[in-house]
Structure 1
């Protein structure tokens, strides 16, 4: 696993989806007037007199914390298990019972777990399992 944080485009996409971003992160993406997004530690942002924008840079833990603890299926809400299945290279929501794991929704892990978790978070937002600015 090489990727430690979501990239700036992924963070912007979460913002566009209406997700309420938590700015209490160790790293932030900073954009000065004529630059691309730069990843900076929060402690380096004591810049006075320079115009800049910033967005948080989520780690895998931040993404996992943002995923819903329950999802609805067929009109019923149940506490779903978020299942990271390295054997089958997937991250999935499902229900575990005595017969095994029933998959409700899965995302394949192509390269980095953080990207699969991000895709799962986007799916959860788009299916209204995560409260956003757009559905208030």
Structure 2
């Protein structure tokens, strides 16, 4: 893993997509990491992910976050990837699928952050799944 932020991570951080709220969101996921380390501010890291669903397809995704460079870059990329996917497709995603897209440009001390994986997203979607 990287020791410093990679170029793709910094590009996503400096030009994040899908920041904001969806007022009539079908799914709202909230995550908090109260134990951000001293070398990993801000503490606590707070996330709210808004999803708009049409049937079993995610039509829109936005986020609000108080977090570090890695969290903002990850959520920007994640919201782009969720749009147009079915819930079943999202549930099949590997835990760290975005790390490859970000060219593993997230420092090792950031990888334990719960916001940087899709486990919470999958749990929320399982409770919302439409057959």
TM-score band, normalised by shorter chain: under 0.3
State the TM-score, normalized to the length of structure 1.
Answer: 0.27
* Structure with larger RCO (C-alpha < 8 A, sep 6+): 2
Higher Cα Rg: structure 1 or 2? Answer: 1
State the TM-score, normalized to the length of structure 2.
Answer: 0.28
